[in-house]
Amino acid sequence: MKRLLGLVGALALVTADVSAADLPNQIAWTAYDVGSSGYGQAIAIGAALKNKKGITLRVLPGKNDVSRLVPLREGKVDFSAFGIGGFHAMEGTQVFGMRDWGPQPIRLLAMSKSDACNTILLADDKGMRTFHDLKGKRLPLVRGAPALNEIVYAFLRFADLTWDDVEVVEFGGNAASLDGIVEGQVDGAAAVTTSGFATKIAASPRGLYHAPVPHDDEEGWARLRAIGPWFLKATCREGAGIIKPYEGANYPYPILIAYPEKDEEMVYQMTSVLFELFPEYRDAAPGASGWALERQALDWVMSFHAGAIRYYREQGMWTEEHQAMQDERLAREKVLLDAWEAYRASPEDQFEKGWMKARAEALSDAGLEPIWTEW
């Protein structure tokens, strides 16, 4: 009996240790609007967490980058299924160059890099077949969403166009801008090809067309990457209205992010369970196949959380080269954060204009590329 009680006690200790390492019973994320590909993938992951782990994932949709990042910054959610606006947040540009923001030291856990593409969804009834055909057309500018606006502008630049070449229509959110295609308010809007909005537009009377981004157009790609250095050449295979694969552009979306102070163990467990449960949700939402472990781009443009690095190192994926890239990214982050603190101590009357100058000078003085000197 003593031996049995001792065994039970030991098992209880082991169970307690395992439970302590597990994720909490309820986790909260922010994500893009309902109907977006990012939201759909978050819901699919949540269903797998509930079915296999008994964990409830609350997904709070946000209409723009600010509304998704505020709850994360304030600690009201644990993680965010974000877009490339995270890069602007890191850089302290666009809306994140305003007085209340500045460079944000956010960190990656994992990403979805699917066979979908990020693009401007084009209304088929306008006869547009290349991005050059956007000249004179109506395009959205989403307030508080620099990432979406940069996507639109990047494809305009690919075609050697600017905002001056199109008619700009302002919207308060991503969903409204995409519904604007169906409602005849605009002729195109930024989205991933697997989003629910792409399906909705394809089924509408206006129809949907996907313009290619020819990979041999090096001048066009140079202009595009000058605006969006995160873009990768990709073959677009997945999404509404895609009849056959075509040459396009892509970047990881969504990306799961946290702030560096987020508990390392929780980040490690969240990263681990994403890949453990991958077979359960990979086919549950368009684009969800991009979360595969082998599709993680550890050499991408954003910094990783220490808890995630621990996981990738255990998998034999995190190399010395990846660590060197991480160190370079963190060094850049320090330059930006130091420049922000110095500038805020004695800001100019035109705060944002002054920050643009201070930011560019700090990066240039450190031998780094500012990417943007104004916005």
pLDDT number for residue 15: 33
Topology of domain 118-250, CATH = D-Maltodextrin-Binding Protein; domain 2 (3.40.190)
Query: Could you state, in order of their start, the residue ranges of all structural domains in the chain?
Result: 20-113+254-365, 118-250
- Name the CATH superfamily housing domain 20-113+254-365: Periplasmic binding protein-like II (3.40.190.10)
Interval 185-237: pLDDT, tens: 999 999 989 888 999 999 999 999 999 999 999 999 999 999 999 999 999 99
pLDDT at residue 145, as a whole number: 81
Average pLDDT value for residue range 268-288: 97
In tens, the pLDDT along 137-177 reads 999 999 878 778 989 999 999 999 999 999 999 999 889 99
* pLDDT category of residue 375 using cuts at 50, 70 and 90: confident
Please indicate whether the domains covering 20-113+254-365 and 118-250 agree at the CATH topology level. yes
pLDDT of residue 1 exceeding 60, the answer is: no
Provide mean pLDDT across the span 299-310: 96
Reduce the secondary structure of the chain to three states and give it as a string: CHHHHHHHHHHHHHHHHHHHHCCCCEEEEEECCCCCHHHHHHHHHHHHHHHHHCCEEEEEECCCHHHHHHHHHCCCCCEEEECCHHHHHHHCCHHHHCCCCCCCCCEEEEECCCCCCEEEEEEHHHCCCCHHHHCCCEEEEECCCHHHHHHHHHHHHHCCCCHHHCEEEEECCHHHHHHHHHCCCCCEEEEECCCHHHHHHHHCCCCEECCCCCCCCHHHHHHHHHHCCCCEEEEECCCCCCCCCEEEEECCCCEEEECCCCCHHHHHHHHHHHHHCHHHHCCCCCCHHHHCHHHCCCCCCCCECHHHHHHHHHCCCCCHHHHHHHHHHHHHHHHHHHHHHHHHHCCCCCHHHHHHHHHHHHHHHCCCCCCCCCC
pTM (two decimals) = 0.81
